[in-house]
Amino acid sequence: MFFRAVLALLATLALAGCQLQPVYSGGSQGPAQTILGAVEVSPIPDKTGFLVRDRLLQRLQPGGSLRYRLDVALDDRIDGFGVRGDNSIIRERRTLRARYRLVDLGTGAILLDSTAVSDAGIDVVSSEYAVVAAEATALERLSADIAEQIIVRLALVGRTAQP
């Protein structure tokens, strides 16, 4: 018990020296939240785009003066692997890749150009309905994961852009 307390104290002291700060410090007036609230999300085509954009808007909650635009292009793929003796697929991998850009509306400058990727494995069973349902569920999870990756990266941009 004593050893753990000493380790915790040493870890706290070590982190204090490296000037780490929480990304979301400052609450609604902090630098991360300031940039997140000023981002407009461009429409993203297809069902996958709707899901990702909806998740982004839920987290960003843009309002007031919009200073940035987020452009997102998605690539959604399902690849089959794992083949039975009769050449039927027994496993699929759904991969969702997003290339996104944060554009300053005033200058047109690209502040961030990055990619987010997430994937999920899907078992292919004898019921076609079950496979379609599993693919749809995977898409919803992947969309949420991609949106979260983008939000985190935008928050970091907001945090590091401050003096």
For residue 143, the model assigns a pLDDT of 96
CATH code assigned to 2-160? 3.30.160.150
Q: What is the mean pLDDT of residues 133-143?
A: 94
In the predicted model, is pLDDT for residue 122 greater than 50?
yes
With a cut of 70, say whether residue 1 has pLDDT above it.
no
Which tens digit of pLDDT belongs to each residue from 101-113? 999 999 999 999 9
* pTM of this structure: 0.77
Residue, of 157 and 53, whose pLDDT is higher: 53
CB neighbour list of residue 60: distance below 8 Å, 6 or more residues apart: 36, 37, 39, 41, 151, 154
Q: What is the pLDDT of residue 8?
A: 65
Distances (CA, A) of 82 to 15, 41, 123, 162: 46, 38, 10, 49
* pLDDT tens string 84-102: 778 778 889 999 999 999 9
What is the mean pLDDT of the segment spanning 121-141?
91
**What are the extents of the domains in the chain?**
2-160
